[in-house]
Structure 1
């Protein structure tokens, strides 16, 4: 069974819980991407390349923005799930955001998000579907695990933050300077998400 976490994001109604799971060593990314492209309603998820997610706060900032836009009728993409992928991008190009942040055929580490936009989408139904749909290792959705899979070089390039110092990309932190660098990068990413299009 998936290590699925259900989030109740602050400032959003409790009637819209968000279900999040993180997978490593995914073997069927090409199949999952094809389901999205075909519009298969059973696979209506935000499928994010986890190497492009620095921290839990980075991911939840994009989720919050997308759900808030969904609630206020401001979606720029097809649905709230595609909007989550789009919300990760600092730019307004939807196709480019899917290329940089969405699932690709070669994606090995995958962040999966589903918003309960209807009553039949529950923690149990999402967990059961993910257990059969995703061929990979379910891991905790936390900063420690994300630090093992995130590609800081790719993230900084996507956000045009090359001038910022790079923190260590692995779980071994090199002291206060490394933690400060990671925190600065995280704040820059969250700020880019919040300010996109303004």
Structure 2
């Protein structure tokens, strides 16, 4: 398998291990640019300012897989809200309050025209609404526009372009690091368009998650590749929030955008039933059995996006998941490297 892996990917698992062991992602300190000017400048790198130091400073534990891929987990296990059928994960308390929690909910069996395409049209329409009275709109119109945009403030992800929950959480973590640099504590808002100085390149933390998934530097391209499309039949919604947010209210806001009948739920509602959305992202169902179910991931498209050449038949092998594991390690490393490559 190792020989075949090297032939298809271009380097062997041992070299993947070396790459990841040497990988250090620089995380520049947050900065405030006076007068709204965006200046490129070099910032001193303090000890512990690299990617791994970030996790250590924020009480994350690092575990190592058989191929030394780095996985970040909070020292206290991520909480899962059994009542809401949604996974809620706590992020470091030293991040700005709006980034200290992230919620993941999966929706399936969407009708492309009446649901997926309709949601996209609503998002586009909301983006075209006035943002200030300078455009001639009344204060009431601005408030209504802001309310509509807030109702759609999620990362809309197409699960067929994801290989696992870890794939998503790697992008979430990277987005949180970047957005923390663009947080203005006085105005309690994120400053957009600070990509040149290490801050947000897109407009919101949620669009930053989608941007982080894409190996390129084009925000529009990332939305086309990983965002909801008019042909999508499933959807993963990602939502940042403060620790004070009510998970049930967050889920209800997601349902209001999609539909309660499309919410993917576990086969039982027992309090001790462990909900792990990874199963749903991979197979489209909480009750799917890996040994008998083919992943929903579009490996052909994902190979093209990440410039890999691993045959789909190997990744869909129900009896051997090692290829999926190797694939996940490479893809997550690619996402993690974006803070350096960008």
Give the TM-score range, shorter chain: 0.7 to 0.9
Provide Cα deviations, 1:116-138, integer angstroms capped at 9, x if missing partner.
Answer: 1595x431221112223213242
The reply on whether 1:173 has 2:297 as its aligned counterpart is: no
Provide Cα deviations, 1:37-66, integer angstroms capped at 9, x if missing partner.
Answer: 223221110001110010010010011111
Corresponding residue of 1:144? 279
What's the TM-score, normalizing by structure 2? 0.51
The reply on whether 1:5 has 2:102 as its aligned counterpart is: no
Displacement of 1:84: 0.7
Q: What is the distance in 1 between the residues matched to 2:164 and 2:154?
A: 20
SS at match of 2:264: strand
Corresponding residue of 1:25? 109
Displacement of 1:14: 9.0
Match of 2:221 among 85, 96, 102: 96
Q: What is the distance in 2 between the residues matched to 1:185 and 1:11?
A: 31
SS at match of 1:51: helix
Q: What is the distance in 2 between the residues matched to 1:32 and 1:117?
A: 25
SS at match of 2:120: helix
Q: What is the distance in 1 between the residues matched to 2:212 and 2:88?
A: 20
The reply on whether 1:44 has 2:153 as its aligned counterpart is: yes
The reply on whether 1:160 has 2:307 as its aligned counterpart is: yes
SS at match of 2:308: coil
Corresponding residue of 2:10? none
What's the TM-score, normalizing by structure 1? 0.85
Corresponding residue of 1:131? 255
Corresponding residue of 2:139? none
Contact 2:210 2:223 in 1 (8 A): yes
Structure with bigger RCO (C-alpha 8 Å, 6+ apart): 1
SS at match of 1:138: coil
5+ residue gaps, structure 2: 1-82, 128-148, 183-198, 267-275, 284-295
Displacement of 1:185: 0.7
Displacement of 1:143: 3.1
- Greater mean deviation of Cα atoms: 30-39 or 136-145: 136-145
Q: What is the distance in 1 between the residues matched to 2:94 and 2:305?
A: 28
Q: What is the distance in 1 between the residues matched to 2:225 and 2:167?
A: 15
5+ residue gaps, structure 1: none
Displacement of 1:106: 1.6
Displacement of 1:12: 6.3
SS at match of 1:98: helix
Closer/same/farther in 2, CA of residues 129 and 69 from structure 1, 3 Å limit: same
RMSD, aligned CA: 2.4
Q: What is the distance in 1 between the residues matched to 2:277 and 2:315?
A: 16
Match of 2:205 among 46, 63, 80: 80
